[in-house]
Amino acid sequence: MSEGTAVAGPDGAPRCPWALSTADYVTYHDEEWGRPVHGDDALYERLSLEAFQSGLSWITILRRRSGFRAAFAGFRIGAVAAFTEADRERLLADTGIIRNRAKIDATLSNARVLADWAPGGLDELIWSHAPDPATRPVPKTLADVPAVTEESTALSKALKKRGLRFVGPTTAYALMQACGLVDDHLETCVARAAGPIRT
């Protein structure tokens, strides 16, 4: 077996190697990662969580997801945009999330920016940067999966231009992977074998 290729999981089905270290990862890999996500609030949540993940392991964020949702009003853009300084102080003291001041401030700032957009604007902007699947080779090993692409760099620039923060090219590509703009499940992964995941 080549290094970085799909590995048999607890049920014997081959999966991307990163998905097998914990049961939480298996569920996330099988049911969410790479599946299309639409809707401004849903994409704001994913964008926020990817920003919080920067410099940390994704499992750290995944296991605090319910805490993040409780702390940030379910990531409803309008609700977070209305947060006060008292809410900010509450977030900075909340042990259920990652208490990083810069990331919390960016999440609040991004909600205020997005609250002024037309409904569907974030969804439309993000999905306009989805590459044509026909132009992307199917990854056979983890080495074939990029960390940054031309499209993620363009998406990062578009988001920053509109005032969003903590949306660098690497974060933008992680968002694209998580939300189904690209399919980076490995060639023999059961999630890819299940059929197309793009909508």
Answer yes or no: 18 catalytic: no
Tokens found for residue 2: 């080549």
Q: Is residue 29 annotated as involved in ligand binding?
A: yes
Answer yes or no: 28 catalytic: yes
Answer yes or no: 33 catalytic: no
Residue whose pair of structure tokens reads 């090993």 in the numeric block: 141
Catalytic residue, from 18, 28, 32, 187: name it.
28
Catalytic residue, from 25, 33, 50, 173: name it.
50
Residue 7, classed as helix, strand or coil, is: strand
Q: Is residue 189 annotated as involved in ligand binding?
A: yes
Q: Is residue 16 annotated as involved in ligand binding?
A: yes
Catalytic residue, from 18, 32, 58, 117: name it.
58
Distance CA 70, CA 51 (A): 17
Among 172, 79, 169, residue whose Cα is nearest residue 122: 172
Residue whose pair of structure tokens reads 């933008």 in the numeric block: 172
Taking the alpha carbons at both ends of the chain, their separation in whole angstroms is: 32
**Which positions are annotated as active-site residues?**
28, 50, 58
Q: Show binding-site residues.
A: 16, 29, 185, 189
Q: Show binding-site residues for Zn(2+).
A: 16, 29, 185, 189
